Amino acid sequence: MARAGHHGASASAPSSHTYGIAIDCCRRVRRPDLALAAVARLLRAGLGLDAIASTNLLRGLFDAGRTEEALDLLVRRMPALGCVPDVISYGVLLKGLCNARRSQQACEMLRKMSGEGGVGAPNVYAYNTVVDGFFKEGKVHKAYDLFHEMIEQGTSPDVATYNSIIDGLCKSKAMDKAESVLEQMVHDGVRPDNWTYNCLINGYCTSRMWKDSVRLFKEMSSSGLKPDICSCTVPDLDIFNMLIDTYAKCGMVDEAMHIYEAMQKQGLNPNVVTCNTVISAFCRLGRLADAVDKFNEMTDLGVPPNPAVYQCLIHVSGVLTVAARTLPGEEWLPEDGVVRAVVEMLVGSKSGGGGGGTHCC
């Protein structure tokens, strides 16, 4: 490739490092065909393929969905070219197989890593990748078994491992196992974080185990892990919403309001889910004045009420007029013909309605 310049100087031939950069550039623009062509030129030039270039080629093939070619590259071609795959190469392979929903095959490759000709015992990242892959494919038992195998092989789980296991078990409603893993996590000296408790609280809420979700929230608070605005992540607001809903469904509205107030003190503004939960709880208990106050606070905060909020207020005696007067337009009116007629009558007469039941939503 060297050519004489205009002044007779010759350009240096590309090095393996230069080809490595070219391969990585081809990967970034999702052109694995060009990356493979660069590898071919590198080999024709008598240069060796190093681990960095081959790993970038692996990533490019996986990104393009060429899983079989990537697998062939690591298992057969790299060793034939004198480029022994390292732990990073295997990490890319495991991630690619799991993304392709081939976690079982990834698990087999994981076990080969420590076998003859392998790169040594898999690290915690490698195990985490396959465990997460199994959960995403709904193979809960295999993920849980691999978690125990990991420990037996002498690899200590980190917070990411425990969170992945707890999240997967909670989503499959295996709450007893999730609690057991939490206890093991604490016993092993790995401190649970916000995400750990978020998974457990959500798991108990979706399983309608309200008392356990409240217990976990108190445990979370006592460990100094109150949801805050450090990262302003959605799960923090979700925790508050879940706890407010849990207390409300247990009839503990005053406790729910303490959570509501604590949320605002932490700098998190309620959303429509929060407001609807609080208003519904007050309506169910017949605390109509409190429900109206929260409705007004909701609109003052700029949270647009949704149809569920209006429906709740409309069905409670004493606040029909409030709800009807605040309806922004025809599209918010419920489809029920009887309720529609009542609302339209109230809008026209602007008179209050008394009596009636106190249950709603």
Mean pLDDT by 10 residues, the chain (361 residues): 47 81 90 89 85 87 89 84 84 93 94 72 93 94 94 93 94 92 94 87 80 78 55 54 78 81 80 86 79 84 80 61 51 44 39 39 54
**176 to 139, 183, 208, 319: CA distances (angstroms):** 18, 11, 14, 44
Query: Residue 213: what pLDDT?
Result: 77
Question: Which CATH number belongs to the domain containing residue 57 in this structure?
Answer: 1.25.40.10
pTM: 0.63
CB 308 within 8 A of CB 276: yes
**Rounded to the nearest 5°, which phi and psi values hold at 172?**
-95, 10
> Closest by alpha carbon to 226, among 215, 213, 239, 214?
239
Same domain as 139, residue 104: no
Domain boundary among 51, 82, 109: 109
Domain boundary among 81, 109, 137: 109
Residue numbers of the domain that contains 153: 127-192
269 domain-assigned: no
Query: Residue 287: what pLDDT?
Result: 79
Same domain as 103, residue 59: yes
100 domain-assigned: yes
**How many domains is the chain partitioned into structurally?**
2
Distance, C-alpha 87 to centroid of its chain: 26
Query: How far is it, in rounded angstroms, from Cα 228 to Cα 235?
Result: 10
CA triplet 286, 289, 292: central angle to 5 degrees? 105
Same domain as 103, residue 16: yes
Query: Residue 141: what pLDDT?
Result: 93
Query: How far is it, in rounded angstroms, from Cα 310 to Cα 78?
Result: 65
224 domain-assigned: no
